[in-house]
Each structure stands twice: as structure tokens, then as C-alpha cells.
Structure 1
Amino acid sequence: MRLLLPQIAATEDLMSKGKVVVIGSNATRIETKGGYWGATGQYLNETVVPVMAVIDAGYEVVLATPNGAPPTIDKASDAPAHFDGDVHAYEHAKVFYATDPSMQGRTLRSILDEGLDSYDGVFIPGGQAPIVDLMQDQEVGEILRHFHEHRKPTAMLCHGPISSTAAMPYAREFRAALIAGDEDKAKEWAKDWQYTGYRMTVFQKSEEKVIEDKILHAKLYFDMPYALGLAGAIIDTGPDFEPYVVEDRELITGQNPRSDHPIAKALIAALDRKLGHA
């Protein structure tokens, strides 16, 4: 009996309160007006800060992307400035992203094949990359429809909320219509969207202009509030580059990179409520 005690303790240490899938993008380039392709990727703080908080709260995290490779970190986010100037926090985040087992990456298909019933929450961080692939990815759509139908906590940060359009029956056509500037067609393709009527926030147009002017040096084909509003969402945004989070039913959205800590707190609280840990 005495020999079994360390094994029992180790098993208890490994037990988690639940499991969260983090959906990342594999996009490294984004198309802009004039035929120019700009560099893009996932924001470091938007990915790591909420993930570390969720793990610290006792949940298991699994990172999944369309092709199974971890997202490319956007160079614009690779700086202490996105960690309130805290160099130690920035360096810790970089090491975590590069070495922690939760950040190794799996395919979205493997998550679906495993079965979504084993997952209790989903989180989609930003950076502009989700505009390219996640918002029209069929497997993302399948995952989001499951979480919507079962009212499981669904969190999306900064540009991450644009990924919610993947749940549409015609997500690819919706995105193509936005790029073509065909508003009527976009509305038509957005019919029967699961998140119609939901309040949500997202990186707003005035914030996007800063990125377009100072980093991309080009204009995107559409801004995020316009696209989500056209699809049927009720857009609610706060001051530029200030933390802001909106919760509506199972959906939790954060406006910008500085909303990383607040959205983590909101997601953990929603998971605890859903699973009876509160």
C-alpha cells in the first residue's frame, strides 16, 4: 500500500478540470488592395497569455491548426511592448510558446476525429492571420457549430472573432464577396449564420488603420466590424487599444491585443460555471 501512494498522488496531479482547444492560423501572408501581399501571423501575447492562464486555472490545452504546424508569430507582436513593457514576461512567453507541450500543434482534423465531446471550451487568438484561413475553414466551421449547439464557452480575441464566419454554410463564398466588394452577395451568403444577433467585439476599423499605415503599408479589403455586422452580429467596441471584452451567451470576444488578460479571466470563469467548478 505504501508503494502505491506516490503513484496515486502523481495521477491526481495530472488530472485536469477540463480540456480547451486553441485554434491557430497557418497563414503567413495576407492579401491587400492593389495586389500586395503583406506578412502576417498570430500575435504572441494573444496566444500565450490566455493559454498560460487557462493552464494555471487547471485546464488542459491543445493547440490545433489547419495543417498541424504551430502558427507563425507575427513579427509585429514579438516585443515587450505587448506585455506592458515587462521584458521578463515577454521572454517567458517566448520560451513557453517554443517549448511547452501544449503549443506543439495538431491538425484540426485530428481534433474532429478524436471527438469534440471531450473538449469543454475553444479559444481563437488574433493577429490578422485568421482573416486569411480560419474565417473560411470548413473544419473550423464544424468545430464552432458543435460548440454553439452545445453552448460551450467560445472565446475569440482581436481578429479572432472573424473566424466565427467559418460556421456559415457558405463561409468561403462570404469571404470572396467581401473581397469583391459585393455587399448584397455577402449578405446572401451569410444567411443562417449561427451567431446572427450576438453581441461581439473585434479589432475595430480605427485600430486597423494604425496597422495598415504603420506595418502593412497597404489597405485590407474589408474591416472586421463591417464584415461581422454585415453577417448579422451586433458590434460593440470600446476605446482604441484599451482592454474590452463582450460576453453574449456562450460567446466571449475581446477587442484588441490588450484584452488578453481580461478575455482569459472571462473564459476561465465561463468554463468553471459550465463545468460546475465555480
Structure 2
Amino acid sequence: MSKGKLLLIGSNATRIEVQGGRTGATGQYLNETVVPAMAAVDAGYEIVLATPDGTKPHIDEASDSVDHFEGDQAAYRRGKAYYADDPAMNAPRTLRSVIEEGLDNYVGVFVPGGQAPVVDLMQDADLGEILRHFHDKAKPTALLCHGPIAIASAMPHAREFRAALVAGAPEKAREWAKDWQYAGYKMTVFSNTEETVVEDYILKAKLYFNMVDALEIAGGEVITTPVNFEPNVIEDRELITGQNPRSDKPLAARLVAALDRSLATAKAA
């Protein structure tokens, strides 16, 4: 019997704006999606995938590699097979349908990374409604790598906040971020120096803003490692954030532990 449903929120973005008025290819990272999802399933939870438009997320080609599974070919094959074939990964819902069905049906929420959430999720009104619900109910809310930028959607003016960041107007962005639910929370996200590596070697272009800067402007207390791609997970109240792709397993463990604690508390009430 399932312990409960974990809502996995994916992005539908396949292109991201870069400086110079162009776009670059983007998507969701494979390991960041499947490692926490499979850990939750192994712990007895059911996964429900939802995206803004109800279609399956595109996997960023840069992440489709055994390198992101610590060189473990068996883990890589298992992860690819899970994403390709598991029924939970092939029955995506729209965010709106999940809201209308009732968010109390879910024990927690998880948002993986890849740069795609920077495009759609961080300014999606439905995701904002979902995150505000989990915040108000103090239910486990986990986000990985670029995924933590999605918590900006909980702002009353998320679209305006993002537009100000793209325009290079941090003070205006700070105004739009007023009354953000996660202001003052400790959190982590893909670091500025890690982003430079991706911009130089994968994207081959510069983004309009960095994730650390955006979350700090909004009022988050962002903590990143001094060494690039060193695993890092920060937990503050219901919020669990992981810094980079190599934080997938540590974040999965913290998420499962938080789900189990939340379940135990609910049963005792």
C-alpha cells in the first residue's frame, strides 16, 4: 500500500533566452528527475507527474549520460528505463488539474532541475498556487539544482519579478518580490560559478541572470559550496533544496526522511 502521493513537477521548456536576443537548447536533467523519484518509490510513495501543459518534460541531452550517475552503468540504465517506461512518467497531468482535484491528496512536492524551470516554472501561476498550499501546510517541498528558482512562482508578481531580472533591474525585481513566502529561508541553488561552467561549455552563451542572485534579491538566504559541483543540501522548515546534479542522492534521502516524519506526525495527530 502506498504511503501517499508525491507530486513531481516538471518543466515543459525546451529553449531558454540567452544574452544577445537568442535562445539555447534546454530541458530537465535526467538524474535529477529519476534519482529522487525512484528513491521515493522505493520508500513506499507514489509519484504523480505534472507539468504546466500536461505533456512529458523534455530531457536535456547534456544530462543523458552515465557521468551523472557516478559512472554506474546499471544505475544509468535503470534511470533511463524508469523515465522511458514507468507508468508514472507517462501519465503527466496539468498543474491546473492537480489543483482542481485537491492538493490535500499529496504528501509532498518535488521539482527537479536542468535550466528549464528558469523559463516556465519560476513564473507559472498554477505552480505558485501549489507552492503556497504546501508552504501553508508545512508539507515537504524539495527542489534540486535550478529547480529552487521555481519557488519564485509563489510571489504575487512572479512574472514581473522575472521580467525585471531579464531587464537587468534588480531593484525593480526586489520590489516585485515583496511579501514572498520564502523570504528569510535558508536555501541553495546552482551556484554562479557552476553556471559559468555550463554557459561556457554546454550552453555556449550567457543567461540574463544567475539563480543565486535572483533568490537573494527575493529575500532568500542562499548558501552554496566554495567548490563547484560538490553535493550540498539545505533544509529549512518544509523547504529542502539541493545545489547541483551531484546533490541528487543526498536530496532524495532528506526528502524521504521529511516525508516519513510528516506522515508520522499526521498519524499521531
Task: Name the TM tier (shorter chain).
Answer: over 0.9
For residue 36 of structure 1, report the CA deviation from its aligned partner.
Answer: 1.6
Q: Distance in 2 between matches of 1:145 and 1:152?
A: 10
For residue 60 of structure 1, report the CA deviation from its aligned partner.
Answer: 0.7
Q: 2:168 is matched with which residue: 163, 181, 190?
A: 181
Give the AA of the match of 1:241: F
For residue 91 of structure 1, report the CA deviation from its aligned partner.
Answer: 1.3
Q: 1:248 is matched with which residue: 230, 236, 248?
A: 236
Give the AA of the match of 2:89: M
SS at match of 1:95: helix
Give the AA of the match of 1:102: A
Q: Distance in 2 between matches of 1:183 and 1:210?
A: 23
Give the AA of the match of 1:64: A
Query: What residue in structure 2 maps to residue 26 of structure 1?
Result: 12
1:210 aligns with 2:197: yes
Q: Distance in 1 between matches of 2:119 and 2:141?
A: 20
Query: What residue in structure 1 maps to residue 262 of structure 2?
Result: 274
Give the AA of the match of 1:215: I
Q: 2:3 is matched with which residue: 17, 24, 34?
A: 17
Give the AA of the match of 2:22: Y
Q: Distance in 2 between matches of 1:90 and 1:268?
A: 21
Query: What residue in structure 2 maps to residue 74 of structure 1?
Result: 60
SS at match of 1:212: helix
1:164 aligns with 2:119: no
Give the AA of the match of 1:66: P
For residue 40 of structure 1, report the CA deviation from its aligned partner.
Answer: 0.2
1:84 aligns with 2:74: no
1:125 aligns with 2:112: yes
Give the AA of the match of 1:175: R
Q: Distance in 2 between matches of 1:219 and 1:250?
A: 33
Q: 1:116-159: per-residue Cα shift (whole Å, max 9, x none)? A: 01101000000000000000000000000000000000000000
1:94 aligns with 2:45: no
SS at match of 2:142: strand
1:224 aligns with 2:224: no
For residue 197 of structure 1, report the CA deviation from its aligned partner.
Answer: 0.1
Give the AA of the match of 2:156: P
SS at match of 1:155: strand
Q: Distance in 2 between matches of 1:183 and 1:83?
A: 37
Where do 4+ consecutive residues of structure 1 move more than 6 Å?
A: none
Q: How does 1:34-45 map to 2 (within 5 A)?
A: 34-45=20-31
Q: Distance in 2 between matches of 1:51 and 1:120?
A: 14
Q: Distance in 1 between matches of 2:85 and 2:24?
A: 28
For residue 64 of structure 1, report the CA deviation from its aligned partner.
Answer: 0.2
SS at match of 2:19: coil
Q: Distance in 2 between matches of 1:17 and 1:151?
A: 18
SS at match of 2:241: strand
For residue 88 of structure 1, report the CA deviation from its aligned partner.
Answer: 1.6
Q: Distance in 2 between matches of 1:218 and 1:245?
A: 28
SS at match of 1:194: coil
Gaps of 5+ in 2: none
Q: Distance in 1 between matches of 2:52 and 2:124?
A: 8
For residue 184 of structure 1, report the CA deviation from its aligned partner.
Answer: 1.3
Q: 1:6-43: per-residue Cα shift (whole Å, max 9, x none)? A: xxxxxxxxx21111100000000000000121000000
1:106 aligns with 2:107: no
SS at match of 1:276: helix
Q: Which has the larger radius of gyration?
A: 1
Q: How does 1:46-57 map to 2 (within 5 A)?
A: 46-57=32-43
Q: Distance in 2 between matches of 1:64 and 1:235?
A: 27
SS at match of 2:96: helix
Q: Distance in 2 between matches of 1:183 and 1:215?
A: 26
Q: 1:84-114: per-residue Cα shift (whole Å, max 9, x none)? A: 1111211111111011011121111110011
- The total of aligned residue pairs comes to 264
Q: TM-score by structure 1 length?
A: 0.94
Give the AA of the match of 2:38: M
SS at match of 1:222: coil
Gaps of 5+ in 1: 1-14
